[in-house]
Amino acid sequence: MASITSYPDPDELASLYVLDSVKGFGPQKFKQVYQANLSAKEIIRRPDALPVPGKRGEPLRKQLRELSKKNIDECRERAEKQIRVAEATTSLILTYAHPLYPKLVFDSNNPVGVLYARGNVELLRHAKAVACVGSRKLRAPYERLHTAFAREAVSSSFTVVSGFALGADTVGHRAAVEGGGSTICVMPSGLDRPFPPENKNLWNSWLSHQHVLFVSEFPFGTGAKSLNLRKRNKLIVAFAQGVLVSQSAADGGAMNAYRFAMEQKKRIATFQSDGTEETTGNHLIAQAEYQADVFPLSTDTQLFKKWLQQLSS
């Protein structure tokens, strides 16, 4: 078994990058390869071994047969560079074979083939995690409620997971750390590209914090963009057993996390809408057919505690 500080074999990492370049080769395909006890290198060498049957698999095998030496060589150079940057930044590159690859992510519908981690990687061992997301313009009383929920979560031994964005994400991360607990910051960029820029000082102060971990599915050098932000929300949900959407408009970015939570069949909670445009998302969640728990606009920590207990029961 790989040690905690080990890096993937450059050839295997390069092969994973090659597979990732194949159109239609998403996280579930990576998982199928792994569960068939095959390596990415084997699939590159023997496309017919790809364990994806029928009409879904043949277009993938065709692309694999047509891979050029240039493509493979470029991915090898990329893998070597990523490992060098990981070493220089004291980061980890995790594939499924790594002992710290998170089980919650592997068991989700978004088991990304390569994860990058920087900070206290021991937090990846935590079995209990809850996502706390919401508006970038979090306001009263939702800011107070979001803070209270995150603090109750860490007091109940949960790690708080969020996306390091302004507003609700930052409030939840801070509440977890200030409450003596741990937090995982899921980034929409490479772990050498802090985002958003307004949080750069927080990023710098937390890089060596014993209760903070930064993770990403994006290689070093990748900048944040709209598609990455959406993917980041899906990974936030994959890291968690349940999701709190504290405050969101119906068209807010946090509603992506809500939809991914439904897709991944995770428990969802929100707070009552106060009837304003800024909480139309709360109203939609409360009225949706997919049952969510709706907390009142009061800091009832016993309700929070009961809901959190149900996540790990």
Given a cut of 70, is residue 35 above it in pLDDT? yes
Interatomic CA distance for residues 226 and 207, integer angstroms: 25
The amino acid present at 72, given as its one-letter code, is: I
| Residue 172 confidence (pLDDT) | 98
Interatomic CA distance for residues 35 and 43, integer angstroms: 13
- Looking only at the bridges linking them, the beta strands covering 242-245 and 129-133 are parallel
pLDDT, tens digit, for every residue of 233-280? 999 999 999 999 999 999 999 999 999 999 999 999 999 999 999 999
| Residue 1 confidence (pLDDT) | 33
pLDDT, tens digit, for every residue of 210-244? 999 999 999 999 999 999 999 999 999 999 999 99
If pLDDT is split at 50, 70 and 90, which confidence band does 3 have?
Answer: low
Q: Tell me what the pLDDT averaged over the chain comes to.
A: 96
Sketch the domain layout of the chain as residue ranges.
1-88, 121-311
pTM here is: 0.96
Given a cut of 50, is residue 153 above it in pLDDT? yes
Given a cut of 90, is residue 4 above it in pLDDT? no
Given a cut of 60, is residue 104 above it in pLDDT? yes
| Residue 2 confidence (pLDDT) | 43
pLDDT, tens digit, for every residue of 52-92? 988 889 999 999 999 999 999 999 999 999 999 999 999 99
Residue that has been written with the tokens 């890096």 in this structure: 7
If pLDDT is split at 50, 70 and 90, which confidence band does 313 have?
Answer: confident
Distance of CA 140 to the CA centre of its chain: 27
Contact yes or no for 93/191 (Cβ under 8 A): no
Side-chain half-sphere CA neighbours of 30 within 13 A: 27
Interatomic CA distance for residues 247 and 254, integer angstroms: 8
| Residue 69 confidence (pLDDT) | 93
Q: Which residues pair with 132 in a beta bridge?
A: 244
The CATH code for residues 121-311 is 3.40.50.450
Task: Determine what percent of the chain is predicted with pLDDT higher than 90.
Answer: 95
Higher pLDDT, 50 or 299: 50
